[in-house]
Amino acid sequence: MGFPHITRGQDLGSAICDTIRSNRVELMDGDVLVVTHKVVSIAEDAVREEGQVQVSERAKKIAACNGMDPVKVEVALRDSVEVLRETPVLITRIRSGLITDYSGVDRSNAPPGCLVLLPTDPDQSARRIQERLKQEFNRDVAVIVSDTQGRPWRRGAVNLAIGVSGMSPFTVNAGRTDLYGRTLKSSLVCIADELSSAAELLTGQADEGIPVVLIRGVRVAKGETGASGIIRPMSENLFR
């Protein structure tokens, strides 16, 4: 059975648990659930009604330069804590530390007349779902909240982890050996991003109606870093 339509303020954890039950899916320890942020944001009411947004002069100017809708620019500006670049693409840092274009504000699959923001604290969003699954099914399942984002020098967006709970976002290969028995000195893989990308193959971007993907059989490490640990501190950022 398909996933229910999520409306503003709805209990997403219940909707996920109900869908798992109604599909007779038996959760297992070590399963990873990837949830697209769109349903998380809508359930958390991280949306703005377009009709109620007062557009500033600054937003109008940026929108005109970028060929972008001024309301979207205004909402993006208000949701940012730092503007890194205004044109030709508005690049901002939002409260969770994430640097993204237009603060991740998006209209696709938004409730009618609304723009959807990114969740205020995606790691906490992931944690809430993870704890709910533990409570309901008594299984240690990891949860990733994902968003499809562009990259500065590669064309096309890919789905990335913006919230992580119940697993480390990383696989640490340093200390392991290669085929020749040499010890790897450094190899840190962001498995949370890779799992998100794998999930996008099913969720899609349009009317697929699949906002949650269950991944089984992948070895993830324990860890409490959250997705905020994926974001490089500004001191490491080579392109600032």
Rounded to 5 degrees, φ, ψ at 147 are -145, 145
Residues 1, 54, 180, 222: which binds a copy of itself (CB under 8 A)?
180
Question: Counting contacts by CB under 8 A, is residue 91 touching a copy of itself?
Answer: yes
The CA distance from 194 to 26, in Å, is 24
Residue with tokens 């100017």: 61
Our CB check for a copy of itself shows the closer of 132 and 199 to be 199
Buried/exposed code over 3-19 (b: 16+ C-beta within 10 A; e: otherwise) = bbebeeebebbebbbeb
Residue from 151, 216, 221, 224 binding a copy of itself (CB under 8 A) = 151
Helix axes 70-78, 57-66, angle to 10 degrees: 120
| Contact pattern from residue 196 through residue 225 relative to a copy of itself, giving x for each residue in contact according to CB under 8 A and a dash for the rest | -xx-xx--xxxx-x--------x-------
Q: Which stretch binds a copy of itself (CB under 8 A): 23-31, 53-61, 130-138, 148-156?
A: 148-156
Cα-based torsion angle of the residue sequence 133, 213, 148, 103 in order, rounded to the nearest 10 degrees: -20
| Residue 107 beta carbon to a copy of itself: minimum distance, rounded to whole angstroms | 7
The answer to whether 39 contacts a copy of itself (rule: CB under 8 A) is no
Q: Which is nearer to a copy of itself, 56 or 225 (CB)?
A: 225
The C-alpha atoms of residue 119 and residue 166 are separated, in whole angstroms, by: 18
Q: Assign 188 to helix, strand or coil.
A: strand
Judged by the rule CB under 8 A, the positions of this chain that interact with a copy of itself are 5, 85, 88-89, 91, 99, 107-112, 148, 151-160, 169-171, 173, 176-182, 184, 187-191, 193-195, 197-198, 200-201, 204-207, 209, 218, 229-232, 236-239
